[in-house]
Amino acid sequence: MKLTEKLWQALDERYDLKPLLDFAREKAVPRHRHDWMYYFGGLTLFFFCVQVATGILLLLYYRPTAEAAFESVQFIMTRVPFGWLIRSIHSWSANLMIASAFIHMFTVYFAGAYVKPRELTWWTGAALLLLALGFGFSGYLLPWNELAFFATRVGTDMVSKVPFIGHWLLRVLRGGEDVTGATLTRFFGIHVAVLPMISTFLILLHLAFIQRQGMHEPAEEPKLPPRPFFPNFVLREFMVWLVGLALLAALAAFFPWELGKKADPFAPAPAGIKPEWYFLFMFETLKLLPAKVLGIEGEILGLAAFSAGGLFWFLAPVWDKKRARGEKSVFALLVGWGVVLYIASFTALSYLGVFQ
């Protein structure tokens, strides 16, 4: 008897693994012309795992203080074997994870997979996307370079615009009135402890909901015989992960993430400073607003509009009654395409320099 068979037999005698095998054999995945969308959820999870693995390696050398953060990242990139590659993979996988999460969210939305009984799956997924953006924002400051310092100052300034509690939130985030070493320490704690802990819990919850209810099958799609989960779907998902890994490796090797100049709090902010690509549509919109609208500060109105829009999107399972009845919802489709076009066009125009 082979060693693997002996190991399996030993485990089966102790833990009765037969129900797990039966479950894997009987589980099936719906088949239709848009079933490719199922792979983006798994791809997002794959990039999250890459983030965790590379983040742990970076933690071995990183020092979260204003005096040593930049130098420790510089040490990783120049002295640690393959350190530059690990950091580049960590940075690129963060961007690919957020891109994959956005695609996953929009495919779920257009498939109408948020209606009853999958409301909680949609809401936990939306919360995970917010956490992914939080990872991006908190991790951006950690190298303590010039661009990250001033982008964080601009980003946290926006928090101060929140009515009544804005100043308190600003002090909580920064650890004071300005971006300092205290801000770096807080962002580090949020990035490596708070966000991973909440994300892990929500990922397990999200997967449990999917496991319990199965994958959504659009009502209007022609019915095809389902595909066995194991090994057919698992092998396809694995191939998608390999494609994601190849793309990540190519980006990290050919476009290594630069470190830039060390942050100097007393230097003037560089011209044309912008946040990461996933915040550009909000950043450019707020810049276009006039200073005052009907006596109210333009940025406050803009942030209130983004908050209301985000809440409306989050509550799609509540207001979209047509899809809940299995009918086509033109309004929901118009909202979805409007959001996609707005985000894509503002992001592209920002990169093209149209707003300068």
pLDDT at 1: 64
Please tell me the chain's helix, strand, coil percentages from 3-state DSSP, rounded to the nearest 5: 70, 5, 25
Q: Under DSSP, is residue 227 helix (H, G, I), strand (E, B) or coil?
A: strand
Q: What is the pLDDT along the chain (356 residues), one digit of tens a residue?
A: 678 889 988 998 998 888 888 888 888 898 988 888 999 999 999 999 999 999 999 999 999 999 999 999 999 999 999 999 999 999 999 999 999 999 999 999 999 999 999 999 999 999 999 999 999 999 999 999 998 999 898 888 888 878 788 889 999 999 998 999 999 999 999 999 999 999 999 999 999 999 999 888 887 777 788 899 888 999 999 999 999 999 999 999 999 999 989 998 888 888 778 889 999 999 999 989 998 888 888 888 999 999 999 999 999 999 999 988 888 899 999 999 999 999 999 999 999 988 87
Return d(Cα 268, Cα 346) in angstroms, integer.
Answer: 27
pLDDT at 298: 87
pLDDT at 184: 95
Pick from 186, 86, 110, 204: nearest CA to 142: 186
pLDDT at 60: 96
pTM across the whole model: 0.92
For residues 128-165, b (16+ Cβ closer than 10 Å) or e, as one string? bbebbbbbbbbbbbbbbbbbbbbbbbbbbebbbbbeee
Return d(Cα 277, Cα 273) in angstroms, integer.
Answer: 12
Q: Is-contact 67 141, C-beta < 8 A?
A: no
List of residues 6+ apart from 1 with CB closer than 8 A:
9
154-188 residue pLDDT tens: 888 888 878 788 889 999 999 998 999 999 999 99
